[in-house]
Chain A
Amino acid sequence: MSVLKSREALLALAILVAIGIIAMRFPAFVAPGNLANVFNDTAPLMLLAIGQMIVILTKCIDLSVAANLALTGMVAALMNGAGMPLPLILCAVILLGAALGAVNGVLVWKLGIPSIVVTLGTMTIYRGTIFLMTAGKWVNAHEMTDGFKALPRLVILGLPVMSWIAIAAVLIFAVVLTRTALGRAFYAVGGNAHAAVYAGIDVGRTQFWAFVMSGALAGFTGYLWVARYAVAYVDVAGGFELDVVAACVIGGIAIAGGAGSIWGAMLGALFLGVIKNALPVVGISPFWQMAISGTAIILAVAFNAAQSRPKGRLILREAAQ
């Protein structure tokens, strides 16, 4: 537990150091308003990383989150175009996202197909569905109502609603993960599936719920994304699923399942957000951004591997065989 905590503290420190270095050359970067912008920009990544983290905890992976986001975002835009009220749209995107996640979950649970294969397939299907619905047409800003576009940008207590939603999601899922039986089951299933079965936990059903949560978060983020950028099309958030997985890995979520905290996922997303926003300011080409996040991923994994290696016990275990 203390190891986990120090891991997150270290990541927070890394983010602060990065911000500090940038501030030495560009003091404007650390102006409260700018930091709030960086946080707000990172909110979608954070929301998806929460869902992804839950899925990864159960030893699965969800590659369909960005496609889910694009599909629900498009549905939200079309519903808005058809004149439906915003509260209905919000309910619809969450339910649709959850349903898309449930498709993944059922395939993993009932057919026992590896999640990487299932979500690779549904990722393509969901994107393809957008094309079928729209024949590739865009929904542009002028086709959206002002109310639809305004909600994510509405500023409350100095922060846009989108940021508040990300903060609320972190807090809600922190409670779900640490204070409910289902949350505990996510950890147990990924940590030792056999032991979980013997403790009366249904492994498949637990994974199913992880996918449903990931899908619901992706669906809600779909509306936020489309409303904020005021555009919906087939390739919205193309390749974003990899950023999401990267945020989790940087945040110390064990890809083998069973270990990691929501704070890690949040900090992993923030780290990528700071890098992404700072590089243009510092005048470094966006291509470097990929190299830097790639390096961060490998460093994070190497660090985690070094942390979890048992010290001096392997020899004993061998002798005990």
Chain B
Amino acid sequence: MEPVLRLRGISKSFPGVKALSGVQLDLYPGQVTALIGENGAGKSTIVKVLTGIYQPEEGTIRIDGREIRLDGADAAAQAGVTAIHQETVLFDELSVAENIWLGHAPRTRWGLIDRQAMRAGAARLLAGIGAKLDPDQRLGDLGIASRHMVAIARALSVEARVVILDEPTAALSHKEIHELYDLIETLKAQGKAILFISHKFDEIFRIADRYTVFRDGQFVGEGQMADVTEGQLVQLMVGRSVDQIFPMRDHNIGSPVLTVSGYCHPTEFTDIGFTLHRGEILGFYGLVGAGRSEVMQALFGITAPSKGACRIDDQVRVIRSTSEAIAAGIVYVPEDRGRQGAVKGLPIFQNVTLPSLGAVSRAGFLRLAEELSLARDYTQRLDLRAAALDQDVGLLSGGNQQKVVIAKWLATKPRVIILDEPTKGIDIGSKAAVHAFMAELAAQGLAIIMVSSEIPEVLGMSDRVIVMREGRIVDEVAGDRMTPEVLVRAAAGLAVAA
């Protein structure tokens, strides 16, 4: 059988990062191909290449043997490639039919939108995927599964030949997932070539016919699902060697600082308990959506846990707000540093002192000299490159803004520092600098929690690793058990290898 879509030698790089290097991918009509890989393996990048959002620097894309260029979302739609994303963008205030046809609605002779044709077309598409929805219904009134159906109908409204499902089951209930499986069978029967991206091995084995594995932006293997075992797929995903260099550390684990027990949240996590010690780096590994960041946000007082206790130095502390967390000595460096980190428009020194205003005040008034000296101390320790401390933080480069954000937290003299994906989206050189700095902080006796989705980083930096899956702690790994296989299996919910 000839593939509908054939990618060869696709490369795509961003400043400092090679996201894809020479990958290949084949999709066959009437077959589901699972694309498997760790976070950061390049799955999302290839989806963006296929949907015309990114243009690769090298490589060829062939549809039915003909080479084409996908230089925009329009071109991809014309070529019959369509994607249903993790968070599909739909419009609550528009009807189901309007959502399906937005941007390419059928027109009347006069160039106006043909509402009748639109409604009839929507009904036909919805019936084709077995969805019982009224085309006139307002989208905002629908549940998440029905919205998914609308998204799929929308994807099919452009005469798709290739359908990409990017983590389609992440937000669905058990019953809805089975409806989605039925739908995928329907699409297969219609001869669509389907690319299925998922972290869940059970569903990959259930619905995929073929697999392709990426690792660190490279193609590492493909084949028929029937010829492969879970163990072999895990091997392909994680590879063998961890070739990044991590700083040498003395593992001087001290007394317990933070003890969390029985933390629960109505929707995000259940029964979280762990102990963190002085001088320790505790890794939190899990798939995206496992609830790691949510646990950290609860510890930092951004969301409230419904149950559970948190002790700092054997004293029970109730943390209901971020200011209480900071007072208790916990700080959180969020993942989205652009949105949650720096206040653009304020000068550097005012960004640094923002959580420490009490410490630089006398009798309720801020002392400029103390603010500047605090900011100078910590920005110098981080080797910040800036013309002056009263420069607007928005004018700094991304890496330097990050240093300001970290300086801000260190200036509060915390006991516990939580780093959420500390090296996400920064180049290798900066990564090494961040890792060295973490090691230095731990050596000074700070207790560090590092949430990370990168296995080499988790294994290279952590003293212990807690693995979360679907809002629960599923494993705690230390010593000899700290191997990629153990982490991946625990995070994906697979049995421990014999």
Contact = CB atoms under 8 A, between A and B. Distances in A.
Contacts of B323: 200-202
A19 to B, nearest CB: 31
Residues of B contacting A: mostly:
mixed
A217 B238 CA distance: 64
Interface residues of B, number: 37
Contacts of B398: 320
B366 A191 contact: no
A180 B366 CA distance: 5
B11 to A, nearest CB: 16
Contacts of B336: 194
A34 interface: no
Given A195-B340, A195-B342, A198-B340, A1 B347 contact: yes
Nearest to B357: A181
A259 B346 CA distance: 8
Nearest to A321: B14
B167 interface: no
Contacts of A188: 343, 346, 354
A179 B343 contact: no
Contact of B408 (A3, A181, A199): A199
A195 B341 contact: yes
B52 to A, nearest CB: 15
Contacts of A199: 322, 326, 354-355, 408
A313 to B, nearest CB: 9
Contact of B392 (A1, A181, A197, A202): A1
A200 B355 contact: yes
B354 A320 contact: no
Interface in A148-201: 175, 178-181, 184-185, 187-188, 191-192, 194-201
Nearest to B392: A1
B365 interface: yes
B62 interface: no
Contacts of B285: none
Interface string B377-392: 0000000000000111
Contacts of B346: 187-188, 191, 258
A181 B358 contact: yes
A319 interface: yes
- Taking each of A3, A192, A200, which has the highest tally of chain B beta carbons within 10 Å of its own beta carbon? A200
Contacts of A1: 347, 390-392
Residues of A contacting B: mostly:
helix
Interface residues of A, number: 28
A185 B350 CA distance: 10
B37 to A, nearest CB: 20
A200 B322 contact: yes
Interface string B289-327: 000000000001010000000000000000001110111
Nearest to B321: A202
Interface in B354-373: 354-355, 357-358, 361, 364-366, 368
B376 interface: no
Contact of B332 (A3, A187, A192, A198): A198
A197 B302 CA distance: 8
Contacts of B326: 199-200
Contacts of B283: none
Interface string B189-206: 000000000000000000
Nearest to A195: B343
Closest 8 CB pairs of A and B: A200-B323, A181-B357, A191-B343, A199-B355, A199-B354, A192-B343, A194-B340, A200-B326
Interface of B: 14-15, 300, 302, 321-323, 325-327, 332, 334, 336, 339-347, 350, 354-355, 357-358, 361, 364-366, 368, 390-392, 398, 408
11 contacts: A1-B391, A179-B366, A188-B346, A191-B346, A192-B344, A194-B340, A195-B340, A197-B302, A200-B355, A254-B345, A258-B345
